[in-house]
């Protein structure tokens, strides 16, 4: 009988990250002149040691011992055999969840926050700025900065800042300073408020504010940290999938289906990228990034060059995007309210190695409640989106009579999201499906940017 919790010993924690850029090609990031950016042009924003990782094509990159020491507070993370969920769904599928809710902030985000804080520390940086949607990334970076003695300032998307006050309190406990975005502290924030004083905020606006705050600090000792999208973030998160691969092997399993929620792409990439090579070499695996129907960058957004932030401070990235000035509906899965998708995830989807999916907010919460009642842990709203797709796949396995192995990323707990569950139970939570007009607007916006190369034909 498969144990409920499949655990690795501390010495079995991966000592290297997997870099997918060793195995795929990307369109290069572009600067304002339309030319590929140089490492030097990124130096005011990131420390050079992280810029080197961002541009590396080395397949395996060693994890520093100081980083492993902090990660060992909660890693290796358990792999859960979700037998209760299987029984509730009456499915022949075997469902395994990689549980990332046991970190101090309660999500997968510290997997990259810790190394980012470390690399900034050894480079001589004293303060980090960042954005956060639901607050999971902001609290993760505040935690990581506290471990390495750095200051931390977080611009939190206004709708989540109001909906999730305890995330702000978590940041404060770890010494972080949290500001609602758009704010009056930056030019980007003031412009957004002038256009709409009731602006609910977006990750694009919050990124603009955090980047501006970093580069405008005259001390030279402040840098910006990003919790998703960029290559080095995807790299750091692969510890999730590398552990999961070892744990499944311990019980003689290999996934037929891999599922993760996807906003910018970090937890999805962390789970799935270590299995990409297997699929490239002929292994039959359905790899499914899942996003909200309210913010469908991968399933409906056009592919092209776009900025990662609303004020266009960041380079142009080749990605699926709903447009850098897109303001998504105020759904509770704040971490999935981003207009774009990681270039690596976008390119893998373009190459047919991923099969993007979208789910409704109500289906997500139905799945989350079913999980909590059958497995115990209350999922974060973002995780609920992934679980809704697990429900679909489990039901499909039941209809087909197939004993599939489903692996899902449980990216974070929902203990600070109970207000959203309360709205769900009271009937005050609604679905939001993006109208086609918003997609057309994105297509028109991207036409004004350089066209990416079709790497599939090269």
My answer on whether 48 and 174 are in the same domain is: yes
- My answer on whether 280 and 421 are in the same domain is yes
Pairing of strands 127-132, 151-157: parallel
Q: What are phi and psi of 327, to 5 degrees?
A: -110, 105
Residue 86 lies in a domain: yes
* Nearest by Cα to 357 from 279, 295, 264, 288: 288
Position 328 in a domain: yes
**Selection from 290, 288, 425, 293 nearest residue 365 by Cα:** 425
Dump the DSSP string for 365-421: HHHHHHHHHHH-PPBPHHHHHHHHHHHHHHHHHHHHT---EEEEEE-BB-TT-HHHH
Q: Is 86 a residue whose pLDDT tops 70? A: yes
Q: Are 406 and 390 in contact (CB under 8 A)?
A: yes
Mean pLDDT to the nearest integer, 135-140: 93
Share of residues in the chain with pLDDT > 70 (%):
98
Residue 7: inside a domain: no
Per-residue pLDDT of 247-299, as tens digits, reads 999 999 999 999 999 999 999 999 999 999 999 999 999 999 999 998 899 99
Write down the pLDDT at residue 256: 98
Residue 378 and residue 266 in one domain: yes
Residue at a domain's end among 230, 259, 282: 230
Token pair belonging to 262 = 């996807």
For residue 271, give both structure tokens: 């789970």
> Measured between alpha carbons, how far is 418 from 432 in angstroms, rounded to an integer?
20
Asked whether residue 170 is assigned to any structural domain, the reply reads yes
Domain end call among 213, 230, 247: 230
User: What are the tokens at 126?
Assistant: 């004293």
Domain shared by 29 and 147, yes or no: yes
**Cα 12 to chain center, whole Å?**
25
Domain total of the chain: 2
**Has residue 143 been placed in a domain?**
yes
Q: Which domain holds residue 243?
A: 74-106+232-457
Structure tokens at 388: 């809704």
Residue 184: both structure tokens together: 């009056």
Q: Is a pLDDT exceeding 80 seen at residue 307?
A: yes
- 431 and 312 in a common domain: yes
**Whether residue 223 sits in one domain with residue 91:** no
Question: Model pTM?
Answer: 0.94
What's the chain's average pLDDT? 93
Question: Is residue 203 located within the same domain as residue 132?
Answer: yes
In which band, very low, low, confident or very high, does the pLDDT at 391 lie, cut at 50, 70 and 90?
very high
Q: Quick check: 302 and 313 in contact, CB under 8 A?
A: no
Mean pLDDT over residues 320-345, rounded? 83
Indicate whether 238 and 224 sit together in one domain.
Answer: no
120 and 98 share one domain? no
Question: Both 338 and 211 in a single domain?
Answer: no
pLDDT at 209: 94
pLDDT at 435: 85
Could you tell me the two tokens for 178?
Answer: 């949290």
Tell me, yes or no, whether 6 lies in a domain.
no
What CATH number has the domain bearing residue 446?
A: 3.40.50.1100
- In terms of domains, do 137 and 217 share one? yes
Flag whether 5 is in a domain.
Answer: no
CB atoms closer than 10 angstroms to residue 455 = 14
Tokens of 450: 């350089």
User: In this predicted model, what pLDDT tens digit does every residue of 38-61 receive, in sequence order?
Assistant: 999 999 999 999 999 999 999 999
Domain boundary among 200, 215, 230: 230
Average pLDDT over residues 137-160: 95
- CA 396 distance to own-chain centroid: 27
Distance, CA of 447 to CA of 383 (rounded, Å)? 33
Indicate the pLDDT class of residue 329, thresholds 50, 70 and 90: confident
The verdict on 79 and 195 lying in the same domain is: no
Reading the block at residue 45, the tokens are 């924003």
**Per-residue model confidence (pLDDT) at position 332:** 64
Give the model's pLDDT for residue 333: 66
**Quick check: 74 pLDDT over 80?**
yes
Could you tell me if residue 325 is inside a domain? yes
């Amino acid at each position: 009988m498969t144990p409920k919790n499949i655990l690795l010993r501390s010495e079995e924690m991966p000592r290297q990250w997997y870099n997918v850029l060793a195995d795929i090609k990307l369109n290069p990031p572009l600067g304002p002149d339309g030319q590929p950016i140089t490492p030097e042009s990124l130096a005011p924003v990131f420390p050079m040691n992280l810029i080197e990782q961002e541009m590396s094509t080395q397949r395996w990159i060693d994890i520093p011992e100081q980083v492993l020491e902090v990660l060992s507070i909660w890693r290796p993370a358990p792999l859960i055999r979700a037998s209760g969920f299987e029984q509730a769904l009456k499915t022949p599928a075997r469902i395994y969840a990689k549980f990332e809710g046991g970190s101090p902030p309660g999500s997968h985000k510290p997997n990259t926050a810790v190394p980012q804080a470390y690399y900034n520390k050894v480079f001589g940086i004293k303060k980090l700025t960042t954005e956060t949607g639901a607050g999971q990334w902001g609290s993760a970076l505040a935690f990581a900065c506290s471990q390495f003695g750095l200051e931390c300032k977080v611009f939190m998307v206004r709708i989540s800042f109001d909906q999730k006050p305890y995330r702000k309190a978590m940041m404060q406990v770890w010494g972080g300073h949290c500001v609602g975005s758009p704010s009056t502290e930056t030019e980007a924030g003031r412009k957004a408020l002038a256009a709409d004083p009731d602006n609910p905020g977006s990750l694009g606006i919050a990124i603009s504010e955090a980047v501006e705050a970093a580069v405008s600090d005259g001390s030279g000792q402040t840098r910006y940290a990003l919790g998703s999208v960029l290559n080095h973030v995807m790299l750091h998160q692969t510890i999730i999938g590398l552990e999961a691969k070892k744990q499944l092997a311990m019980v003689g399993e290999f996934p037929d289906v891999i599922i993760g929620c996807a906003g910018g792409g970090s937890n999805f990439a962390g789970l799935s990228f270590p299995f990409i090579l297997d699929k490239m070499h002929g292994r039959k695996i359905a790899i499914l990034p899942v996003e909200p129907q309210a913010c469908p960058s991968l399933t409906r957004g056009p592919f092209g060059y776009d900025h990662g932030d609303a004020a266009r401070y960041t380079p142009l990235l080749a990605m699926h995007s709903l447009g850098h000035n897109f303001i998504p509906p105020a759904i509770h899965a704040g971490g999935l309210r981003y207009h774009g998708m990681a270039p690596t995830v976008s390119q893998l989807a373009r190459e047919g190695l991923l099969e993007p999916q979208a789910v409704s907010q109500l289906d997500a919460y139905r799945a989350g409640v079913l999980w909590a009642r059958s497995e115990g842990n209350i999922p974060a709203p973002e995780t609920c989106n992934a679980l809704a797709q697990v429900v679909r796949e489990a039901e499909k396995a039941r209809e087909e009579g197939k004993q599939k192995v489903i692996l899902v990323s449980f990216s974070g707990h929902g203990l600070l999201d109970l207000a959203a569950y309360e709205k769900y139970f009271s009937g005050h939570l609604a679905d939001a499906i993006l109208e086609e007009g918003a997609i057309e607007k994105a297509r028109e916006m991207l036409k004004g940017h350089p066209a990416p190369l079709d790497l599939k034909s090269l």
